[in-house]
Homo-oligomer: A and B are copies of this chain.
Amino acid sequence: MVEQRDEQQLSEILKATSDATRRSLLTTLVQAGPTRVTDLANHYDMSLNAVSKHIKVLEAAGLVSRRTVGRNHLIEANLDPIQRIDDWFRNLRSIWELRLEKLDHLLTEDRNDD
């Protein structure tokens, strides 16, 4: 029953990325490299605490990692988990195409190639 766990993980990744502020944080991190929480927070019209929370959501989803250097927490993007979204989508599309193939066979009444 690993599937259950995978599903849960995928939900977490999708939910984490579904918030515009968090996507924006990811973009900033990807273009700026490891950045302190305070410096990230300065870009937004919300409290440091709110940003800190968003970072924790991203962290739980594995989309960022944290390296603590003294009192500074350096946050770094990690895009690997997004691959899971792509995997899911590819799988979905392959199921779709499989059905269309079968449908095509039925419609053309193509009984010669089995």
Binding site for B on A (CB under 8 A): 7-8, 10-11, 14-15, 17-20, 23, 26-27, 30-33, 77, 79, 82, 85-86, 88-89, 92-93, 95-96, 98-99, 103
Please give the count of copies of this chain that the complex contains.
2
Q: Tell me the interface secondary structure of chain A in the complex.
A: helix
What are the residues of chain B within 8 A of A103 when measuring CB–CB?
Answer: 33
Question: A83: nearest residue on chain B (CB-CB)?
Answer: B89
With A20-B11, A27-B95 known as contacts, the answer to whether A86 contacts B88 (CB < 8 A) is no
- Our pick among B7, B33, B82, B92 for the contact of A89 (Cβ within 8 Å) is B82
Q: In the complex the two chains form, what is the Cα distance from A77 to B11 in whole Å? A: 19
A77 contacts which chain B residues (CB < 8 A)? 96
